[in-house]
Amino acid sequence: MRTSIATVSLSGSLTGKLTAAARAGFDGVEIFENDLLASPLTPEEVRARCADLGLTIDLFQPMRDIEAVPEAEFARNLRRARHKFELTRRLGAETVLVCSSVSPQAVDDDALAAEQLSRLADLARESGVRVAYEALAWGRHVSTYDHAWRIVETAGHPALGTCLDSFHILSRGTDPKGIADIPGEKIFFLQLADAPLLAMDVLQWSRHYRCFPGQGGFDVAGLLHHVLRTGYDGPLSLEVFNDVFRQAEAGPTAVDARRSLLVLQEAVGRAPLPGPVVPTGVAFAELVTPDAEPLSALLGALGFTRAARHRGKPVALWEQGDARILVNTGPAVRRDGTRLAAIGLESPDPAGAARRAEALLAPVLPRRRAPGDAPLDAVAAPDGTELFFCATGRPDLPDWRSDFEDTGREAGPAHIRGIDHLALTQPWHHFDEAALFHRGVLGLRAQESVDVADPYGLMRSRAVTNPDGSVRIALTVGAAPTDHTVHAQHIALATDDVVASARRFREAGGTLLPVPANYYDDLAARFEFADGELETYRGLGILYDRDAHGVFRHCYTRTVGRVFFELVQRDDGYRGYGAANAPVRLAAQHTVRALTGG
């Protein structure tokens, strides 16, 4: 299907927005009136620019407060409309959006609304355009799509149809099944937006918190099913008002928007994409560092062994159980110190996973390979993390470990089983994009977003997982572009006995994050513990949580660069990540950071 995006969904100048939309692969655009008014280009020049970029102008929007008003006011509205229709013709667009009135002069009279909209459509037809009437969720008298359709049907004008907007429909909780009663040819336009489920004024919700389909809590795919059953064959167009998108770069936002429509079309059987290949585990986590010594000391204290080194690159493989950490000290290391740069994901079909990622606009990363190196496909996540699709220990597929030479070092007893989860701090403007990327590209399930209190504001976190929990990634973002939160990444290591693991770590010279005594006083009030159990946790800095399924015990190392490790013990099917303890952990990290200056 053809795809379109409203210029209001992107940041920057009109020309920049048009370029971003074209580069992302959109077929057309909706021109928002304010964007045109602020542009130095004439309507004819905008039309020519779109043609040069291969874009159609599918809609000019919006016209407001037109219908169901006293005759003298309507006469003034027609004079205004005549100018807007001529402007639409000069742009080369065929359709003008008219929103249901919010004017205090509007009256609750459907017959009058239909009669005046019919006269408006007469005027539109003289300019060779048509009118799409949309019910605003906060319209004064017309606020639902079925009400708007009844007025359009009563008017019975060939140049008057309706515009359906998923936000206006779903934000009111209106049942979209009635869309099936609208003839497809009378649906002149379809605008799509998602939104988080919030309890707030619908106008503010609409103006600030819309997001692309698949990033919020609305069933946009279900609504689209109903629309397509009518025979609607117009574009799928995104109209998203979002404060974050207005401040982010237009190019990446447009790619995110286009990806959301590809995933949405797949959900309704209209996009022939390569099927999702869900990862089955974490093959490795790669850390890059300008100084391997502190990281090596930390890994050694955790019980890891430097088991192998890459044949042609300054990369060491540290192993313990099924947990593998690559330490890269190559010249490409950035100045921001130690960081988590790449994740290897076990895949039943690495080539298929790469094909799907590329089809969903994920940047395919070039890889410098020496002769004999294992071929590995990699793509970039929105935050820049490199994702490699791996097949470890598969006789039928190349094994990435064949690039490494054994160091001959004997591994000690393993008390770490593997990588439990990875936590990635997202750039402030990529949080929703990251959730959609991991769900759409990787086939992971996105859990509900949670807010976490930090000493300098609120952080948002959202986990994505595969069905059996062998892949868990927590995506986190701070409250604002300039927030003071600890922008750290961490690797959580699974153990069957976190107390024993914490003791071994300290005996090996490691330092655990100190936890305030007040935290343990609160634990004593909230939970019952066996004799001496809470004192053990207090002495080691172990935190504790329970959910409906089980118990979670965890502790943290100090931070090296941007990275720290977490030791976790899940019992009886615990499903969370210790979110209740996150404020204590963040405050403790801020304290250590202030004392050490790191």
Give the 3-state DSSP-derived string for 289-352, with helices as H, strands as E and coil as C: CCCHHHHHHHHHHCCCEEEEEECCCCEEEEEECCEEEEEECCCCCCCCCCEEEEEEEECCCHHH
| CA nearest to 144, candidates 178, 112, 115, 119 | 178
User: Which two three-digit tokens encode residue 205?
Assistant: 């919700």
pLDDT score at 484:
41
CATH, domain 3-267, list 3.40.640.10, 3.40.50.970, 3.20.20.150, 3.30.365.10: 3.20.20.150
Domain ranges of the chain: 3-267, 281-403, 418-596
Q: Among the listed ranges 164-168, 336-340, 485-489, which one has the minimum average pLDDT value?
A: 485-489
For the ranges 58-72, 237-251, 457-471, the one whose mean pLDDT is highest: 58-72
Question: Cα–Cα distance between 224 and 268 in angstroms, integer?
Answer: 7
Would you say the CATH fold of 418-596 matches that of 281-403? yes
Bridge partners of residue 97, in order along the sequence: 132
Contact 486, 476 (CB under 8 A): no
Q: Report how far Cα 194 is from the mean position of its chain's Cα atoms.
A: 12
CB atoms within 10 A of CB 71: 8
Query: Mean pLDDT over residues 522-536, rounded?
Result: 95
Contact 162, 134 (CB under 8 A): yes
Separation of alpha carbons 404 and 200, rounded Å: 56
Please report the pLDDT score of residue 486 as a whole number.
46
Average model confidence (pLDDT) across the chain: 92
296 DSSP 8-state letter: H
Position with higher pLDDT, 576 vs 427 = 576
Q: How confident is the model at residue 485 (pLDDT cuts 50, 70, 90)?
A: very low
DSSP code for 172: T
**What is the mean pLDDT of the segment spanning 290-319?**
94
For residues 74-90, average pLDDT: 96
Angle ∠(45,46,50) on CA atoms, nearest 5: 115
Pairing assessment for the beta strands 418-425 and 489-494 based on DSSP bridges: antiparallel
- Can you tell me the distance from the alpha carbon of 116 to that of 377, in angstroms, rounded to the nearest whole number? 60
Q: Tell me what the mean pLDDT of segment 299-319 comes to.
A: 95
For the 281-403 domain, the top CATH level (class) is: alpha beta
Segment 532-584, tens digit of pLDDT = 999 999 999 999 999 999 999 999 999 998 899 999 999 999 999 999 999 99
pLDDT at 54 over 60: yes
pLDDT tens digit string along 139-178? Answer: 999 999 999 999 999 999 999 999 999 999 999 999 999 9
Specify the pTM: 0.90
Determine the pLDDT at residue 483.
44
Annotated binding site for Mg(2+): 421, 490, 566
Residue 448's pLDDT is what?
Answer: 84
Confidence of residue 73 (pLDDT cuts 50, 70, 90): very high
The residue-averaged pLDDT of 472-481 equals: 77
The pLDDT confidence band at residue 332, using thresholds 50, 70 and 90, is low
User: Would you call 397 helix, strand, or coil by DSSP?
Assistant: coil
Binding site per annotation, positions: 134, 165, 191, 239, 421, 490, 566
Arithmetic mean of pLDDT, 178-182: 95
**pLDDT value at 596 more than 80:** no
Sheet architecture: strand order including 305-310: 377-380, 386-390, 339-346, 281-288, 323-328, 315-320, 305-310, 404-406
Q: Which of the residue ranges 186-195, 343-352, 408-417, 462-471 would you say has the lowest mean pLDDT? A: 408-417
Tell me the pLDDT tens digit for each residue of 102-133.
999 999 999 999 999 999 999 999 999 999 99
Nearest to 16 by CA among 192, 33, 41: 41
Q: Which CATH number fits domain 418-596: 3.10.180.10, 3.40.50.720, 3.40.190.10, 3.40.50.920?
A: 3.10.180.10
| Residue bearing the bigger pLDDT, 284 or 333 | 284
In terms of pLDDT, which residue wins out, 209 or 505? 505
Q: Bigger pLDDT: 161 or 451? A: 161
Element housing 532 (H / E)? none
CA angle 197, 203, 205 (to 5 degrees): 25
Contact 235, 1 (CB under 8 A): yes
What percent of the chain shows pLDDT beyond 90? 79
**487: confidence class by pLDDT, cuts 50, 70, 90:** low
Q: How far is CA 93 from CA 44, 53, 134, 231, in A?
A: 11, 16, 18, 22
The residues, ordered by sequence, that sit 6+ positions from 89 with a Cβ below 8 Å of its Cβ are 127, 128, 129
Measure CA of the first residue to CA of the last residue in the chain; give whole Å: 52
Cis check: omega of the bond before 62, within 30 degrees of 0:
yes
Is 543 within 8 Å of 581 (Cβ atoms)? yes
Q: Per the annotation, where are the binding residues for a divalent metal cation?
A: 134, 165, 191, 239
Question: At 37, is the pLDDT very low, low, confident or very high (cuts 50, 70, 90)?
Answer: very high
Q: How confident is the model at residue 452 (pLDDT cuts 50, 70, 90)?
A: confident
Percent of the chain whose pLDDT exceeds 70: 96
Please compute the mean of the pLDDT values over residues 261-269 and round it to a whole number. Answer: 96
Q: Of 151, 159, 73, nearest to 115 (Cα)?
A: 151
Q: What is the pLDDT of residue 369?
A: 66
Res 335: pLDDT: 58
| Strand (E) or helix (H) holding 465 | strand 457-465
**If pLDDT is split at 50, 70 and 90, which confidence band does 368 have?**
low
Mean pLDDT, rounded, for 447-461? 79
